[in-house]
Amino acid sequence: MTAETPTSADIDLIQRIIPHRYPFLLVDKVRDIVPFKSAVGIKNVTMNEPHFQGHFPGVPIMPGVTIIEAMAQASAVMVGVSADLADKKFLVYFMAIDGAKFRRKVGPGDVLELHVEVIRGKPGGKVWKFRGRAEVEGDLACEAEFTAMMDLTG
């Protein structure tokens, strides 16, 4: 972290931090980054996403596991921005997902706000725990705590 640590990440910076690409890149922007503490990810949900072909035909609903994955990606970007990990070989692996609850359907046209915060973790540490809340227009869609291993391989 430097005095010039960004407080947001556009799609270019996101792709320089995490390796995910279409169709599994699930965050379009990360804003309000407080280094090593919290951030808000943005996912613009569109009908073009491949999971809507089968989940469910005629009633497109974003799978809950992809919402949790989007929260995890927003968390990884927050840590990556905070630790200046752009253009490094940075991978993140789920270790646990706890207390996941789904409260609202998410579908095409929704803008998913992914509010993530660090529960446990420190700069340079490998194991981090986060709390996430996914909202659409202020309505809670999903919440969970998740633990991840941050692996800087290069």
- Residues identified as active-site: 55
Q: Which two tokens stand for residue 25?
A: 């890149």
**Contact status, residue 128 vs residue 120, Cβ threshold 8 Å:** yes
- Burial classification of residue 48, based on how many CB atoms lie within 10 Å of its CB (0-12 exposed, 13-18 middle, 19 or more buried): exposed
Give the strand order in the sheet containing 127-136. 29-34, 38-44, 111-120, 127-136, 139-152, 90-102
| Phi–psi pair at 63, nearest 5 degrees | -60, 140
Residue with tokens 């194991």: 127
